[in-house]
Structure 1
Amino acid sequence: MKRKAFIEKTAKALFELCAVVAIFAVCAITIYMFMKGAPALKEVGVFDLLFKTIWKPTASEPSYGIGFIILASVVGTTTALFLGVPIGLLAAVYISEMAGKTTGNIVRTAIELLAAIPSVIYGLIGMMVLNPITFRFEQIIFEDDSSHQFTGGANMLSAIIVLTIMILPTVISVSTSSLKAVSDTLRAASLALGATKEQTIFKAVIPAAKSGILTGVVLGTGRALGEAMAINMVAGGAVNIPLPFNSVRTLTTQIVSEMGYAQGTHRQVLFTVGLVLYIFIMIVNYALLRARKAGIDDVD
């Protein structure tokens, strides 16, 4: 009995230590980001930094406006989610509710392989395959517009398409697991009441799996907001208003592009860009997790 009690206490202490380490890591990152990012807010000014749109850190009179950069991150992530979540959810419904066992396993394996592809490969394929396609559309649309600055396909549209593809594996995998976790009793009860299979899926199964699906959306949002390498390769890297055929730069690509050579205030502002990204991710995750909790309460 003493040996069993010792093992239980040791295991409990180990679990508690792991929890403390996780909490400490979050707190340490938060403190570090505020310590590094806050000074530039005071030096440059909150309004000038967040709401102005001119980014010229190396000019004789430097300007550090990241308004367009923030907007590009918001537009890119939101549009990718708007496109990717419905596609991912419908794919998850097919895998969990409609596909046969063999077909479902094949599709699931393909999705898992898609999730394992490194970001740089997405960027490479996007640069070599997608950019020429979007450039062709750009040439057709702006053929008679002499004021348009052609991007060669490295633009917002390419970035959105790549982001959409990149979040699909996360949304599909988590949503599939959530749908499969719904009790078969619920499906049987719905069918017994005269509902069709499609009505059962969309009126009973999906609402019951809502909290898990929202978890997939949270993870997909984090993937979209935090992506840097692939977007840096396909988006063009210019600070512009985020229109479909404009080259753009997001919060993550801004840091990746300039941190290597930035000095002084320029470097401090890049830490502030990281702080803005960090706060933005925390706010989005908190809002989605609140929605997830509300979904659980509704089901209960």
Structure 2
Amino acid sequence: MQDQKLAKQLFKKSKTARYEHFGRFLCFCALLLIMVIVIGIILFIATKGMSTFLKDHISMKDFFTGTLWNPGTKTPDGHAAVGALPMILGSFLVTILAAVISTPFAIGTAVYMTEISPKRGAKILQPVTELLVGIPSVVYGFIGLSVVVPFVRNVFGGSGFGILSGTFVLFVMILPTIVSMTVDSLKSVPTYYRQASLALGATKWQTIWKVVLRAATPGILTAVVFGMARAFGEALAVQMVIGNASLMPHNLISPASTLTSVLTAGMGNTVMGSMQNDALWSLALVLLVMSLLFNLLVHFIGRKGAFSK
């Protein structure tokens, strides 16, 4: 009998083991819940977005190549006026221009914070970067409406509303994201890379340019893609300065629109199930697909950087 009791005590799970299994169960439930929510959102948006093509019988060619956006009406050639090309082109132009302008500033700031003056950079630039992250989008929009739009109007002409104004606003908004991720990438470069370069006679600037930045290139590219993803999905601030004209952008200072600006301006003014509402859901589906592509690009760059090391 004593041997049986001793055997039961030996094979009985300890309190710590029970807590560990319970913690694993909670983590699994949380992961499962997140997966269900993400899959549900994707299926919901995909179902709503495809209604334009399946229920309203709008061809994908007319949707992605058309230049006239006025759902519910017809173009002169008899097709439905649901051309999303102006919004898609406007979104890409604003995103790419903002990334091109902000990347050199972000890399320079990150190099100063990590390689040139880490102590001063941590004291001054890091709080400034964190402050820029915490400013709401509507505040950026008001600043852009009060400062950027008049500046563009006085310097470049036009009404001041357009892709150029949206680019300047997004430049400030995505700069903290690219800076913070670039700083992390530069800090992850091993110290012996720098020491070996300096030992071979390279100057500090040669070490930064030839060694540190090249070693951190995958992380910097990931930071740029993350910044572009945020710029592509930004709605309120861009809507306030871009002009919200669903027209093909002929230049950078003419009023234009993006996918997000049309969605935020039109979703509350349509009836659920109508062609106008279905067309807006199709724009939301395009945004979702682009977000997934940005995430896949980030994973590809990360894996490429891991393999190169």
Count of residue pairs brought into register by the alignment: 288
Q: In 1, are the aligned partners of 2:162 and 2:254 still within 8 Å (CA)? A: yes
Task: Return the offset for 1:275.
Answer: 0.2
Structure 2: distance between partners of 1:24 and 1:74 = 31
1:245 matched to 2:292? The reply is no
Structure 2: distance between partners of 1:196 and 1:24 = 53
Q: What residue number does 2:83 align with?
A: 65
The one-letter code of the counterpart of 1:292 is G
Q: Taking structure 2 as the reference length, what is the TM-score of the superposition?
A: 0.88
The alignment partner of 1:153 has SS state of coil
1:90 matched to 2:108? The reply is yes
Q: What residue number does 1:142 align with?
A: none
Structure 2: distance between partners of 1:49 and 1:232 = 22
Q: In 1, are the aligned partners of 2:93 and 2:163 still within 8 Å (CA)? A: no
- Structure 1 unaligned segments of length 5 or more: list them: 140-149
The alignment partner of 1:57 has SS state of strand
- Structure 2 unaligned segments of length 5 or more: list them: 1-12
State the Cα deviation string for residues 161-194 of structure 1 (Å, max 9, x = none): 1111110000001111221222222211121111
Structure 2: distance between partners of 1:84 and 1:232 = 20
Q: What residue number does 2:227 align with?
A: 220
1:106 matched to 2:124? The reply is yes
Task: Return the offset for 1:4.
Answer: 1.7
Q: What residue number does 1:186 align with?
A: 193
Larger Rg: 2
- After superposition, residues 270-289 of structure 1 pair within 5 angstroms as 270-289=280-299
Instruction: Check 1:112–1:269 CA distance in 2 against 1; reply closer, same or farther (3 A cut).
Output: same
State the Cα deviation string for residues 87-130 of structure 1 (Å, max 9, x = none): 21121111111114134321110010011100001110000001
Quick one: which of 159, 184, 200 aligns to 1:177?
Answer: 184
1:291 matched to 2:305? The reply is no
Structure 2: distance between partners of 1:225 and 1:231 = 10
Q: In 1, are the aligned partners of 2:145 and 2:240 still within 8 Å (CA)? A: yes
Instruction: Check 1:256–1:18 CA distance in 2 against 1; reply closer, same or farther (3 A cut).
Output: same
Q: What residue number does 2:44 align with?
A: 32
Q: Taking structure 1 as the reference length, what is the TM-score of the superposition?
A: 0.91
Instruction: Check 1:102–1:36 CA distance in 2 against 1; reply closer, same or farther (3 A cut).
Output: same
Runs of 4+ in 1 over 3 A off after TM superposition: 58-62
- After superposition, residues 108-187 of structure 1 pair within 5 angstroms as 108-139=126-157, 150=158, 152-187=159-194
The one-letter code of the counterpart of 2:269 is Y
Structure 1: distance between partners of 2:29 and 2:107 = 37
Task: Return the offset for 1:27.
Answer: 1.2
